[in-house]
């Protein structure tokens, strides 16, 4: 029976693996907890002009308002209904955002919370972002509506009703994840309500979905829901286009559920990517007891135990593991360690493996106790009335009001452009020193060099690029007929001289054909 299910899943149409990005675009950005009106403006003023293909947005559906602690980020993952109404904005603001972003070629991917409703034991009331009532004791959510008949309580075999053993696939999929009320997705009624919600978003114009907590759903149930989804809105997408599906399946090994069980449904968030790359950039001990080196990245990808490239959505960090939980451990690099982080993101965007997502965060005050951040729950920057602060843009193009905006960092933005130019180009001219100095090219359009050693780098390397003067897009960029950063001369034979000090603010250099003077 299990083999028949796997074959059915693998046999499904593969259209939902396509990112649905505009021509020549290769990456999306997660504008975590941004307001819809700010995302609309960012699509028009920055994302479209700089080659970003899409935005992953926070869950737009109505959620429980959590007051203890006060308005944490994770309240967005406590659904009350499927009304489009959250602290990011109302339905009209959401529709306006989708339209404006689509009109400039930046598509919207919704974080879909469909495994569960809010946590048990919250009682009854209407303290929710749209004011809809609920009663968790009675398992009643009249705004959907769901009743006690629509939850998995009788199927769960643990005493607590929660997942107690992650090696038990039945517990992981039939019991409650951290007390969140687990929906009975085998029921046709529940599947229909979820599909209605996702189809409303598709009709508005979204391009796809991140499926939250996918490994907590049986693949067959999830596939049945996906098959109910409409094709994308033909106002912006070709007729017959299927929504992109990328599923949150945390699979670092050693548990009862494998990411491979979900390959046939859509792409998978490859958590091993950031965990392993973080160890390499940090030069930490690897799987076999020796110190990791960037030279080992020569065969980066499936040879490192990562899933097939055409199934992987990859990222250096996400909204969960940048807070120390959700998969990846302490090796995960984040904006708090900006020098190493920029190198990791630069490598990700230069390397051909996977479909890339850039993170865009907000700051919070970190308070560590016994190695754990006590403030990992803190929600987005807020006004005194607890509404989310606007994203303001400073004169130097950085963000204010506590928004980090990593996607606006020159080094990351320019590497998004690099990846667009290098799309479909082979990885060529790999060089390394056996340690942490590496370089490689992408066909005849781009070349990147890293120095993550504790000594300076001076070497002539074959770039594969046409002769000419190029602007380094890490230390600066091409503006008109000048370089705002370093200049690199490529000779007629394709060789160029590179010099990177170990003390440089950004110990890597990247050039591409559109940065040629």
**Crossing angle (nearest 10°) for helices 338-350 and 410-422:** 10
Q: Bridge partners of 499?
A: 458
Rounded Cα–Cα distance for residues 17 and 14 (Å): 6
Q: Bridge partners of 516?
A: 470
Select which of 174, 212, 221, 292 is catalytic: 212
**DSSP assignment string, 437-469:** EEEEEETTTEEEEEE-SSS-EEEEEE--PPSEE
Query: Has 168 been annotated as catalytic?
Result: no
326 three-class SS: coil
Q: Are 475 and 483 in contact (CB under 8 A)?
A: no
Select which of 150, 182, 248, 486 is catalytic: 248
Burial class (CB in 10 A: 0-12, 13-18, 19+), 285: exposed
φ, ψ for residue 490 (rounded to 5)? -95, 125
φ, ψ for residue 369 (rounded to 5)? -140, 120
- CA nearest neighbour of 227 among 516, 11, 423: 11
User: Which contacts qualify for 394-398: CB closer than 8 Å, 24 or more apart?
Assistant: none
Query: Has 164 been annotated as catalytic?
Result: no
User: Which contacts qualify for 93-100: CB closer than 8 Å, 24 or more apart?
Assistant: 93/35, 93/36, 93/37, 94/36, 94/60, 94/204, 95/204, 95/205, 96/36, 96/37, 96/40, 97/36, 97/37, 97/39, 97/40, 97/43, 97/57, 98/204, 98/205, 98/206, 99/205, 100/40, 100/43, 100/44
Cα distances (Å, whole numbers) of residue 38 to 41, 89, 205, 264 = 5, 10, 18, 35
Show the tokens assigned to 488. Answer: 């690199």
* Active-site amino acid positions: 212, 248
């Amino acid at each position: 029976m299990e083999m028949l299910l796997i074959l059915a899943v693998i046999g499904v149409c593969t259209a939902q693996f396509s990112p649905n990005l505009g021509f020549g675009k290769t990456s999306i950005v997660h504008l975590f907890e941004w307001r819809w009106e700010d995302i609309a403006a960012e699509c028009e003023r920055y994302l479209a002009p700089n080659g970003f293909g899409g935005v992953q947005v926070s869950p737009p559906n109505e959620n429980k308002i959590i007051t203890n602690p006060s308005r944490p980020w994770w309240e967005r993952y406590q659904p009350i209904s499927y009304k489009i109404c959250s602290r990011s904005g109302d339905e009209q603001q959401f529709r306006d955002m989708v339209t404006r972003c689509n009109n400039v070629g930046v598509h919207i991917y919704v974080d879909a919370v469909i495994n569960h409703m809010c946590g048990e034991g919250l009682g009854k009331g209407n303290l929710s972002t749209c004011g809809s009532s609920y009663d968790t004791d009675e398992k009643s959510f009249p705004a959907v509506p769901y009743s006690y008949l629509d939850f998995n309580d009788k199927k769960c075999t643990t005493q607590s009703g929660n997942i107690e053993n992650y090696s038990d696939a039945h517990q992981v999929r039939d019991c409650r994840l951290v007390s969140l009320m687990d929906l009975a997705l085998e029921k046709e009624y529940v599947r229909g309500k979820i599909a209605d919600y996702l189809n409303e978003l598709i009709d508005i114009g979204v391009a796809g979905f991140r499926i939250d907590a996918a490994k907590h759903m049986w693949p067959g149930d999830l596939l049945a829901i996906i098959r109910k989804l409409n094709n994308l809105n033909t106002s912006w997408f070709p007729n017959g286009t299927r929504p992109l599906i990328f599923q949150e399946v945390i699979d670092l090994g050693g548990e009862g559920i494998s990411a491979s069980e979900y390959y046939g449904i859509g792409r998978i968030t490859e958590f091993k990517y950031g965990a392993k790359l973080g160890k390499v950039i940090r030069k930490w001990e690897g799987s076999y007891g020796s110190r990791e080196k960037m030279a080992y990245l020569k065969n980066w990808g499936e040879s490192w135990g990562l899933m097939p490239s055409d199934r992987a959505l990859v990222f250096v960090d996400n909204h969960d593991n940048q807070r120390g939980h959700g998969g990846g451990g302490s090796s995960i690099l984040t904006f708090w360690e900006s020098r190493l982080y920029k190198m990791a993101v630069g490598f990700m965007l230069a390397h051909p493996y996977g479909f890339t997502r850039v993170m865009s965060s907000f700051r919070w005050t970190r308070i560590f106790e016994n190695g754990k951040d006590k403030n990992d729950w803190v929600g987005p920057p807020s006004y005194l009335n607890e509404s989310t602060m606007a994203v303001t843009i400073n004169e130097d193009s950085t963000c204010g009001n506590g928004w980090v905006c990593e996607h606006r960092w020159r080094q990351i933005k320019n590497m998004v452009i690099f990846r667009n130019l290098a799309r479909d180009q082979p990885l060529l001219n790999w060089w390394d020193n056996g340690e942490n100095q590496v370089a490689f090219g992408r066909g005849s359009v781009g070349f990147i060099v890293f120095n993550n050693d504790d000594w300076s780098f001076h070497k002539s390397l074959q770039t594969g690029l046409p002769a000419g003067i190029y602007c380094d897009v890490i230390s600066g960029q091409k503006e008109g007929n000048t370089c705002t950063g370093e200049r690199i001369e490529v000779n007629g034979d394709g060789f160029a001289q590179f010099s990177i000090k170990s003390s440089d603010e950004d110990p890597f250099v990247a050039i591409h054909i559109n940065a040629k003077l």
